Amino acid sequence: MDVSPQRTAVIGAGYVGLTTGACLASLGHHVVCVDVDEAKIARLRQGRVDILEPDLPELVAAGLTDGHLDFTGDVTTAVRAAEVVFLCLPTPMAADGRADLSAVESVVAELGPSLPTGCVVVNKSTVPVGTAAWVRRMLDRDDLAVVSNPEFLREGSAVQDFLNPDRIVVGSDDEDAARRVADLYRPLRAPVVRTDAASAEMIKYAANCFLAVKLSYVNAIAELCEVFGADVDAVTTGMGHDPRIGRAFLRPGPGWGGPCLPKDSSALLRMADTAGVRFDLLQAAVDDNTRQGERVVRRLAEELGSLHRARIGLLGLAFKAGTNDLRGSPALRSAELLVAAGAEVTAYDPAVSLDLHHIAVVDDAYQAVKEADAVLLATEWPEFRALDWTAIAELMNGTLVFDARNHLDPAAIDEAGLTWRGIGRMVTAGSPDRRTPSTKGERSERTA
Ligand SMILES: NC(=O)c1ccc[n+]([C@@H]2O[C@H](COP(=O)([O-])OP(=O)(O)OC[C@H]3O[C@@H](n4cnc5c(N)ncnc54)[C@H](O)[C@@H]3O)[C@@H](O)[C@H]2O)c1
Ligand SMILES: O=c1ccn([C@@H]2O[C@H](COP(=O)(O)OP(=O)(O)O[C@H]3O[C@H](CO)[C@@H](O)[C@H](O)[C@H]3O)[C@@H](O)[C@H]2O)c(=O)[nH]1
């Protein structure tokens, strides 16, 4: 294989750390993954992966079997013989909106004295500009190098994204350390963007926040489409053919969420604020995103007349399809807003089963929509497209299906006698969109 195997330690075995560890092991490197969560480490040693990521359980099992991958709870043991140490630690949003670097700080303080001479510390967490320099000062050792190597994987396709990256960003003032980190990825044959550490750190925020702005922009265009009778799907298709715009990240929805975009836009805004730089565009994107979530619930209220005691069948809880991650989920936010407005919410998500405060979570979609006055689709799981809408029409009290992802087939819903509503979609005379959804009372009379 086109790789010089290196001994690596990966600190933090979450979405990024576990994917990094398992993928590097699959490339032939020797990897030890470390985590403070001892129960997680015990499960991983048995090949049990908690997160929903295609191909990840298989890669973990293969790494355990061929001996390239190991797990431990002890940082000191893991880094003792390491040539490269990856930090894949959480950097969540602190109360003041900044990135909370406490996990990075405590790990760097703990592992510093144990790192072997010549070791390269690679930061993969998303961290404010200047963190690599700060880590370097904390380590306070001339025999170590620090490299910023931000990660761009998406949840739900983490392994494929890691193994087929658009680019590998390697930021460091240390030429030799940067080359060694780039070499780890050589079998992937991806373009390497070689920068200083500060630029690498900024690339990560700039990329995620650009995506956030793009999504808020398209959600605003969708609202205008509703007002002016245009169809946002046609509009984004027309925009997306322009390679300067691109087709990706043009789907309107209930607002963008997840564990990254919201916290990273908040962190970049705080960085700008601290530096005295105005970033009104990004602030507007964040504010518009909050409004987008509220707008979905307001539209439901308008369609139903009132949300007080309305029964809502919520399809989807995860922040997007393909993951069981609920962090920053627009679906959960919608549920919270609905409950606050007096609605009763029953939810179903194919990847999520847990008890949620105020929201009943059930085991299948048909249970969720039973006696519902309206259905709200908030996560675009493919299986929702295959639902039997005639059966659902029988189960529901009302007729409204609010598709906050434009994911369903309006014709199938119309044929079932239900009323489809989407985001930014054209309302034409005679189309299902023109029909007024019946209220609970009317529907009961109709079906009586
Ligand atoms: N999730 C993503 O899609 C994604 C993609 C790119 C970058 N990132 C960034 O990567 C970083 C990690 O994100 P994640 O989603 O993998 O987080 P995560 O919460 O899934 O995983 C973090 C792991 O670190 C462990 N941990 C916490 N403190 C520790 C300590 N002191 N020592 C050892 N382990 C510790 C936790 O137990 C957890 O298993 C964040 O900065 C995030 O912004 C995330
Ligand atoms: O056309 C689109 C695309 C996405 N979304 C929403 O945007 C949010 C974020 O989606 P996505 O970017 O796919 O999810 P993440 O897995 O959080 O990945 C983002 O955040 C990661 C962590 O930093 C980065 O590594 C990735 O490159 C970046 O895409 C979700 O709520 C999606 O539903 C839309 O509404 N419309």
Q: What is the pLDDT of residues 310-321, one digit of tens each?
A: 999 999 999 999
pLDDT of 448 strictly over 60? no
Q: Is 162 annotated as a binding residue?
A: no
Q: Looking at residue 436, what is its pLDDT?
A: 54
Closest ligand 2 atom number to CA of residue 405 = 35
Q: What does the pLDDT look like over 23-67, one tens digit per residue?
A: 999 999 999 999 999 999 999 999 999 999 999 999 999 999 999
Q: Looking at residue 303, what is its pLDDT?
A: 95
Cα gap 187→204, rounded to integer Å: 23
Kindly give the interhelix angle for 280-304 and 330-340, rounded to the nearest 10 degrees.
50
Cα gap 334→339, rounded to integer Å: 9
Question: Cα-atom radius of gyration of the chain, to the nearest Å?
Answer: 24
Strands 400-403 and 419-421: parallel
**Ligand 1 centroid, distance to 378 Cα (angstroms):** 26
Residue 297: other Cβ atoms inside 10 A = 24
**Averaged confidence pLDDT in the chain:** 94
**Ligand 1 centroid, distance to 126 Cα (angstroms):** 9
Cα gap 401→374, rounded to integer Å: 6
pLDDT of 239 strictly over 70? yes
Residue 345 parent element (H or E): strand 344-348
All domains in the chain, ordered by first residue: 7-195 (3.40.50.720), 196-448 (3.40.50.720)
Query: Are the C-beta atoms of residues 256 and 427 closer than 8 Å to each other?
Result: no
Residue 174: other Cβ atoms inside 10 A = 16
Where does 229-315 have alpha helices with state H? 232-240, 261-274, 280-304
Indicate the pLDDT class of residue 434, thresholds 50, 70 and 90. Answer: very low
CA-to-CA dists, residue 90 to 130, 273, 340, 401, 413, angstroms: 17, 23, 30, 37, 42
Q: What's the rounded mean pLDDT across residues 100-110?
A: 97
DSSP assigned state of 260: S
| Better-scored residue on pLDDT, 433 or 86 | 86
pLDDT of 447 strictly over 50? no
Query: Are the C-beta atoms of residues 294 and 337 closer than 8 Å to each other?
Result: yes
Cα gap 399→221, rounded to integer Å: 27
Q: What does the pLDDT look like over 165-215, one tens digit per residue?
A: 999 999 999 999 999 999 999 999 999 999 999 999 999 999 999 999 999
Q: Is 155 annotated as a binding residue?
A: yes
Ligand 1 pocket residues where CB is under 6 Å: 11-17, 34-37, 40, 88-91, 103, 106-107, 125-126, 151, 153, 155, 259-260
Closest ligand 2 atom number to CA of residue 330 = 31
Q: What does the pLDDT look like over 387-410, one tens digit per residue?
A: 999 999 999 999 999 999 999 999
Known active-site residue 23? no
Query: Are the C-beta atoms of residues 294 and 223 closer than 8 Å to each other?
Result: no
Cα gap 22→20, rounded to integer Å: 6
Where does 140-258 have alpha helices with state H? 158-163, 175-184, 197-228, 232-240
Kindly give the interhelix angle for 197-228 and 131-139, rounded to the nearest 10 degrees.
150
Q: Looking at residue 5, what is its pLDDT?
A: 84
The contacts of residue 219 (CB under 8 Å, 6+ apart) are 252, 253, 255, 288, 289, 292, 423
pLDDT of 143 strictly over 50? yes
Closest ligand 2 atom number to CA of residue 155 = 16
pLDDT of 419 strictly over 70? yes
- 408: helix, strand or coil: coil
Q: What does the pLDDT look like over 366-378, one tens digit per residue?
A: 999 999 999 999 9
**Amino acid (1-letter code) at residue 137:** R
Burial group, residue 207, by CB count within 10 angstroms (0-12, 13-18, 19+): middle
Q: What's the rounded mean pLDDT across residues 82-99?
A: 98
Q: What does the pLDDT look like over 241-282, one tens digit per residue?
A: 999 999 999 999 999 999 999 999 999 999 999 999 999 999
Q: Is the dihedral of CA 157, 131, 191, 187 positive or negative?
A: negative
Q: What's the rounded mean pLDDT across residues 354-360?
A: 87
Q: Looking at residue 432, what is its pLDDT?
A: 44
Q: Is 253 annotated as a binding residue?
A: yes
